[in-house]
Structure 1
């Protein structure tokens, strides 16, 4: 069993205005600490074999300027790779304007690692999304990364975990639902959104981004 409440509370969530290449942007920022040294976390995030065990199978020319593709997920270009502290890539799922993901690592107390992941999108994309669907769409972006950070924690602690099979279980639904509420609070802090609008956004995000539960789950 996964301690869902502890995992949700382990991550700090923020909504920001991180610029992207070519102009202004909006971002979701996730920050948490891992009980592993920086070098270990770095290799878990950059070594193809290790990535495949918690995030997804990755292929491509894995160097600065090269392109990568996560199986059945996003792909993009590697913009920066400064071992063991900084990784920045473009992030594109399907057609549309590319977004940017930056992972930042720094040493923490007692040999731990402070991990930050910031996913920035062109302001035009986010503003159109919010105008159409409200802040619930932004919440959905954050919830997707919550699962990735959970997978990384379990991998670093050598806990057996298969995201593909887990994501349709009642436990996964609980995790994603709590994540939607946590991102709702981050939206309210960043944008001063009213309680009623936050509740509407969380309901939208839960409806669209919380996985269905398998009957056998």
Structure 2
């Protein structure tokens, strides 16, 4: 993490505004025994398209706000996120679009990043698409928040990088013990529960999954 710049908003100020700064969407379609989900997160940052592109593609900058990323970071190349996913870069159209496979825990999904000019700066839109078994236990248990909260935390790191001039927490497990961070996780889980209900999930099921997601990220035992 870099040293804060006193002329910028603080990390606490960024964190307080972050939940409302992100637009979240969810689309769910079921074909036979297969469920297709598309999660979308979008946020405008006070920077240029070229700077936002560099922040999302340069491994030196990615490590500051996201995670260490290694590999052949070009079209057709393989990448590895330290302690997380790996995959192949499938499309790359600088400085506006790239997409890749997201290979994690034996499953493969797809992530696309779009960057465009917007009022107030440049807008990033992240789309995470997944096809899996309809009514799979993991989805019923956690819903979209399992991945959605993780992406929300990542976009918070990007906001810290571009707005506060800092980056991701050095120890995320320690960071999430603070009251403001826990409130952020709860709000993110709730918003993904609301997105799930809007996409057709029964409200009670969506709310219960959001509560379990909150407990998972905060290291709390389930209440049921």
Q: Secondary structure, in 3 states, of the residue corresponding to 1:191?
A: coil
Q: Name the counterpart of 2:7.
A: none
From 98, 122, 125, give the equivalent of 1:113.
Answer: 122
Query: 1:101: Cα distance to partner?
Result: 0.5
Counterpart Cα distance in 1 of 2:126 and 2:161 = 17
Residues 55-70 of structure 1: pairs in structure 2 closer than 5 A: 55-70=66-81
Q: More deviation in 42-51 or 174-183?
A: 174-183
Instruction: Give me the TM-score of the superposition, normalised by structure 1.
Output: 0.85
From 168, 186, 193, give the equivalent of 1:177.
Answer: 186
From 40, 48, 57, give the equivalent of 1:37.
Answer: 48
Would you say 1:189 and 2:198 are equivalent positions? yes
Alpha-carbon spacing, 1:48–1:105, altered in 2? closer, same or farther (3 Å): same
From 57, 64, 85, give the equivalent of 1:74.
Answer: 85
CA contact (8 A) 1:60 1:68 kept: yes
Counterpart Cα distance in 2 of 1:137 and 1:87 = 26
Q: More deviation in 41-50 or 201-210?
A: 201-210
Instruction: Give me the TM-score of the superposition, normalised by structure 2.
Output: 0.82
Q: Name the counterpart of 1:168.
A: 176
Residues 1-217 of structure 1: pairs in structure 2 closer than 5 A: 1-3=11-13, 4-17=15-28, 25-94=36-105, 96-110=106-120, 112-124=121-133, 127-129=134-136, 131=137, 134=140, 136-166=142-172, 167-170=175-178, 171-194=180-203, 196-211=204-219
Alpha-carbon spacing, 1:204–1:158, altered in 2? closer, same or farther (3 Å): closer
Counterpart Cα distance in 1 of 2:35 and 2:140 = 20
Q: More deviation in 171-180 or 67-76?
A: 171-180
Counterpart Cα distance in 2 of 1:190 and 1:132 = 18
Count, aligned residues:
203
Query: 1:32: Cα distance to partner?
Result: 1.2
Q: Which has the higher contact order (CA 8 A, sep 6+)?
A: 2
Alpha-carbon spacing, 1:207–1:107, altered in 2? closer, same or farther (3 Å): same
Counterpart Cα distance in 1 of 2:88 and 2:188 = 28
The unaligned stretches of length 5 or more in structure 1 are 213-217
Q: Secondary structure, in 3 states, of the residue corresponding to 1:100?
A: strand
CA RMSD of aligned residues (A): 2.3
